Structure 1
Amino acid sequence: MGLIEKIFGTHSEREVKRVLPIVDRIEALEPDMEKLSDGALRGKTDEF
Structure 2
Amino acid sequence: EMSVEELQQCVLDKLSKNGPVTDQMKRDVANNIYHDSLVNWVKSFRN
| Shared fold per TM-score greater than 0.5 | no
Q: Which has the higher helix share?
A: 1
Choose between structure 1 and 2 for higher RCO, CA contacts under 8 A separated by at least 6 residues.
Answer: 2
Q: TM-score range by the shorter chain?
A: 0.3 to 0.5
